[in-house]
Amino acid sequence: MPRGFYVGRFQPLHEGHEALLREIARERDELVVGIGSADKSHSVDNPFTAGERHVMLTRTLETIDVDAYVVPLVDVDRNALWTSHVRSLCPPFDDVYSNNPLVTRLFEESGTDVHDLPMFNRQEYEGTGIRERMLSGDPWEDLVPDQVVDVIEEADGVGRLRDVAADDVAED
Ligand code: NAD
């Protein structure tokens, strides 16, 4: 069976990501999961480190019937080189799963088949909205897997997000 590839920032990993991983696992025995923007952390858009996101993914993948290989991927300045960069770091893969238009475009231009997937409750399962809930004190825990709640609490993730957001405001 071909080995698939799926990439996300997972800031944080939420129920939409988990639903996608379960959907892909129905079609693939093996999957490479890229942690995109692995070089980014401690900002409002990217509060969690690659290591924290690695733990979110590995603990979630333990509940899904797929052999997954998780690879952190730092961003590169030139989009045209990104798919080569990804392939230089990952185990070989045959095709890609993505709902991200730029990711889809770059892989298709490089000759790799890309499968799109259904959107799962995009109104709520969306990283920006979840981070906004953390900042405003609204409940967010039901929007991410239980294992991810544990990782965020261990890292004082909400406290960190509020601190870096306050720093952003102070710079304005
Ligand atoms: P993300 O975590 O927002 O989403 C990951 C994937 O899940 C996407 O395909 C998204 O469409 C899908 N998804 C999210 N919520 C969903 C839902 N509720 N239902 C169904 N699907 C859902 O991550 P992202 O921003 O798409 O990750 C792409 C990564 O690739 C980024 O880190 C980006 O920097 C990286 N990238 C880098 C370069 C470069 O370095 N030049 C170029 C392209 C992409």
pLDDT in tens, 2-22: 999 999 999 999 999 999 999
Return the CATH number of the domain spanning residue range 4-165.
3.40.50.620
**Rounded distance from Cα 34 to ligand 1 centre (Å):** 10
| CB of 125 closer than 6 angstroms to any ligand 1 atom | yes
- Label residue 170 by pLDDT band (50, 70, 90): low
Q: Quote the pTM value.
A: 0.96
- Label residue 1 by pLDDT band (50, 70, 90): confident
List, for residues 37-79, the tens digit of each pLDDT value: 999 999 999 999 999 999 999 999 999 999 999 999 999 999 9
- pLDDT for position 42: 97
Q: Does 168 have pLDDT greater than 90?
A: no
| CB of 20 closer than 6 angstroms to any ligand 1 atom | yes
**CA 112 vs CA 11, 24, 72, 127, 168: distances in Å:** 26, 17, 20, 27, 39
Q: Measured between alpha carbons, how far is 143 from 136 in angstroms, rounded to an integer?
A: 15
Which atom number of ligand 1 is nearest to the Cα of residue 76? 40
**Rounded distance from Cα 160 to ligand 1 centre (Å):** 22
Are 40 and 46 in contact by the 8 Å Cβ rule? The answer is: yes
Pocket of ligand 1, candidates 20, 32, 143: which has the most ligand atoms within 8 Å of its Cβ, to mutate? Answer: 20
The CB density around residue 129, as the number of other CB atoms within 10 Å, is 16
List, for residues 110-155, the tens digit of each pLDDT value: 999 999 999 999 999 999 999 999 999 999 999 999 999 999 999 9
- Label residue 31 by pLDDT band (50, 70, 90): very high
| Mean pLDDT to the nearest integer, 96-111 | 98
